[in-house]
Amino acid sequence: MKFIEIKNCYKVYQNGVTAIADLTLSISKGDFVFVIGHSGSGKSTLIKMLYREEKPTKGEVIVGGINISKLKNRNVYKLRRKLGIVFQDFKLLPKLTVYENVAFALEAMGLKSNEIRPKVLKALERVGLKEKVRSFPNQLSGGEQQRVCIARAIVNEPKLLICDEPTGNLDPETSKEIMKVIESINKEMGTTIIMATHDREIVNRMKKRVITIENGVLVSDDAKGRYVAHENV
């Protein structure tokens, strides 16, 4: 079942830079996909198009049957409620506890506290932080902060988890731990994972599908790929 379809997609910025050029690919429900490429290759633009931070200049981006390239700005929040997004910089609210940071997204959706509590505790248990509910972000390690971000992203059990360089600020050992958490979400929840990364070691160790983009062009798509730098594109 095709969960994401990108059809003949172009993204040209106002300064004339073509970030994505005639990109076509599909991703099935439950897939785990790495998106790699050099800085400026277009991978971040691709990731941003999936959660409608950017719109394609031409072509279609379809997520879960919704053509989000035609989605009106006022309805983007409806799309994002169905997604989970994990960033490189943790974006936690410093004055809120771990519990409150994860609950915040559900409160914004209008859920009642008796609905929120079991969801938050379940999400924190999935990432191994149930005992840290009363801690504040500055009391946590970098890896723990990223786990909170993952819990916040999955608290509503989204069908798609988008990870933009989630291990970029972490040491190699902590990165391994974070990837175990993300992989367990993929396996146990059936969540589709799309992860942009520069981390060669993670990509080579996990042997997942690898999509390589250079100069906005899809240059390889390997089912069990490795981190290959395509220099001459």
Q: Where are the domains of the chain?
A: 30-55+71-222
pTM score, whole prediction: 0.92
The helix (H) or strand (E) run that includes residue 163 is strand 160-164
Exposure of 8 in the CB half-sphere (CA atoms within 13 A): 2
- Cα separation of 210 and 119, whole Å? 32
30-55+71-222 carries CATH number 3.40.630.10: no
Per-residue pLDDT 10s for the chain (233 aa) are 689 999 999 999 999 999 999 999 999 999 999 999 988 899 999 999 999 999 999 999 999 988 998 899 999 988 888 899 998 888 899 999 999 999 998 998 899 999 999 999 999 999 999 999 999 999 999 999 999 999 999 999 999 999 999 998 899 999 999 999 999 999 999 999 999 999 999 999 999 999 999 999 999 999 988 887 654 43
Residues 193/17, Cβ–Cβ less than 8 Å: no
